[in-house]
Amino acid sequence: MTTAPPPKAQVTDVAAQISFAMRTMGVAPIPRNYELFYEAYIGSNPALTRELAALGSKATQDELDAIGEQYFGSHQGRAIENAHTKLIGELESLLRVLQQEQTSLESYNKLLGETYSRINSKSNSSADILRSAITILTEATGSTMAHGERTVSQVSQKSHEMDLVRKELDEYKRIANTDSLTRIANRRAFDEKLSAVYANDGHTLSALVLADIDNFKKVNDAYGHPVGDKILATVANVIRANVRKDCFVARTGGEEFAIIIDGNTVEEVNQICERVRVALETTPFKNSKTGVNYGPVTISLGYCMATDAEDAGELYAKSDIALYCAKNAGRNRTKLYEDGMKKDFTKSWLIYKR
């Protein structure tokens, strides 16, 4: 794959970048393919990225599915698609039932009209017409009522089946939006939440906080990834425990976390960041069996208020700059984005690299 990354003006957000890459490779825009390219985009799995890039511009769906099975097992994307298909199937079945009921009622109404015409007809005796009308209406009414009862039963059954499928779909979506290690939201869920910040006028007191564990690579190198994974899970728990329940907390990749806060002033956001930072700094990271102390573990945080950015992309960029400045200033601190802060953005998109 030799295509160069598109200029920033051409591709303005994550979804557009992923869609652009999929079109470049001629890949079908279906959820399970999007999931593969999303993982490649965030760079959380270099091996997956290399395999995906190695397919070039002639990737077949079978090849993509093979990579999906290798890295995602049962593949949540396909499961979501199947649940969607089942839900659509149940909905279509319910519509057929309702259409049949409508046809039955239309036939009954037509019969009522014909019977009314016969009653007004002078070609037969009134007694004959009345007996005939009563017989017809009795049979038709009974049949229509029976059909209606069957329809009510079928609608109830279909509604129950649709509810089960919806719950299944909701569970797949929950799993797909949850980081398996830390049990908080993942990057996919974060992107959706971040894009919604500017969806209405309620972002006046919103803020994006980006956080990064200090010197995490050294911990992984010294003690191994199993210890690193436990530290990541603990950090997630500490963050979650020290922010309000309505704050959105996500692991956005590696040792990086994000918090979206609504309804707080800049000073209050700073207090929340400091509460998280101090809580983590004072949390023991010690192996109870061996006595090995992995700490102290500290975190750097950078944040920007939504009112200081035009859109979600700029909000993320400015928060990232503030985080970079917190790191550059010595780590284990909180920085608010201010005009004049700069960072060298040279990271290119991994999906375009062989």
Average pLDDT estimate for 52-59: 78
Q: What are phi and psi of 152, to 5 degrees?
A: -60, -45
Does the N-terminal peptide bond of residue 296 adopt cis geometry, omega within 30 degrees of 0? yes
pLDDT of 120? 60
Please tell me which residue, 61 or 229, carries the higher pLDDT value. Answer: 229
* Nearest by Cα to 71 from 41, 50, 47: 47
- Least Cα distance to 19 among 9, 30, 8 occurs for 30
Q: Quick one: pLDDT band at residue 25, thresholds 50, 70, 90? A: confident
| Per annotation, catalytic residue among 39, 90, 101, 255 | 255
CB 193 within 8 A of CB 248: yes
Distance CA 333, CA 274 (A): 8
Tokens of 109: 């109404």
Structural Rg of the chain based on CA atoms = 30
End-to-end C-alpha distance for the chain, whole angstroms: 7
Q: What percent of the chain has pLDDT over 70?
A: 59
Beta bridge partners of 265: none
- Can 69 be counted among the known catalytic residues? no
Long-range contacts of 68-75 (CB under 8 A, 24+ apart): 68/32, 68/35, 68/36, 71/39, 71/45, 71/47, 72/35, 75/32, 75/35
**Average pLDDT score over the chain:** 76
Q: Where are the alpha helices (DSSP H) in the chain?
A: 14-24, 31-42, 46-54, 61-72, 76-120, 126-176, 187-196, 216-223, 225-241, 266-281, 312-328
The 10 Å Cβ neighbour count of residue 180 is 8
Amino acid 351: pLDDT: 37
CA–CA distance, 353 with 53 (Å, rounded to integer): 7
Of the candidates 155, 207, 154, 158, which has an alpha carbon nearest to the alpha carbon of residue 335? 207
Domain ranges in the chain are 14-73, 77-176, 187-352
**Options 3.40.50.300, 3.30.70.270, 2.40.110.10, 3.20.20.70; which CATH number does 187-352 get?**
3.30.70.270
43: left (phi over 0), alpha (psi -120 to 50) or beta: left
How far is the C-alpha of 333 from the C-alpha of 324, rounded, in Å? 11
Which residue in 289, 282, 191 sits closest to 234, CA to CA? 282
| Torsion over CA: 164, 169, 174, 180 (sign) | positive
Q: pLDDT by residue (tens digit) across 275-316? A: 999 999 999 988 878 888 888 899 999 999 999 999 888 999
Query: How many CA within 13 A on the CB side of residue 350?
Result: 17
pTM greater than 0.85 (yes/no): no
90-126: pLDDT as tens digits: 666 666 666 666 666 666 666 666 666 655 655 555 5
Q: Give the residues across from 303 on adjacent strands.
A: 209, 336
Top-confidence residue, 5 or 317: 317
Identify residue 105 by its one-letter amino acid code. L
> Is the CA virtual torsion 84, 86, 88, 91 positive or negative?
negative
Q: Residue 31 has what pLDDT? A: 60
